[in-house]
Every structure is written in structure tokens, then in C-alpha cells.
Amino acid sequence: MFPFIINYFTIGSGIVRSVLEVVEQPFESAEDIVNAIHHILKKYNIDTKKLTSIGADNVNTNYGRYHSIFSIMKNEIFNLFKGNSSSIT
């Protein structure tokens, strides 16, 4: 199961953290997870070009140098930064 959590900033509330959705993902390849990310973001009308970072644990599927979730998304979003698991708790 994957929780999709979004952090954003507003003038009135400061940093806001929200759980968008928790989805069951039977396939855990980088491509399948990126597709799930795109599906969730599209469902909530969030433009991927406005993402600044993604956070996850440090397994190779998420942050490996070659063919990871981060490397695939970095090809789509030039200014994307790596978060870490402590930044999403």
C-alpha cells in the first residue's frame, strides 16, 4: 500500500500536509509506481510541472541511480529535488 501525501504552503495556513489517497499497488516496479503517481495527481488535478520534490524511503526503486522513480520523474521535471523519509513524517 502506498500513501500519497502532499505538502503545500498557503499564506493563511503555512505548511499544510494532506493524505490524498492510500492505494494498493500490486506491482512495485519504478514504472508502475510512476504511473500510479501520475494517475493520482491527474485525479486531483495537480500539475506535475508544479512539483518541487518527492519524498520516499531510500530503496533502489525510489532513488536508485538508474531507472528509479526519481530518475524517471527527473526526466519529466527538470527542477525536481529528492526528499527523504524524515521530510514526510
**What are 37-62's pLDDT values in tens digits?**
899 999 999 888 888 888 876 566 67
Instruction: Yes or no: say if 83 and 56 are a contact pair by the CB < 8 Å rule.
Output: yes
**pTM surpassing 0.85?**
no
User: What would you measure as the largest C-alpha separation in the chain, in angstroms?
Assistant: 40
Q: What is the mean pLDDT of the chain?
A: 81
DSSP sequence for 3-65:
EEEEEEEETTTEEEEEEEEEE--S--SHHHHHHHHHHHHHHTT--GGG--EE-----HHHH-S
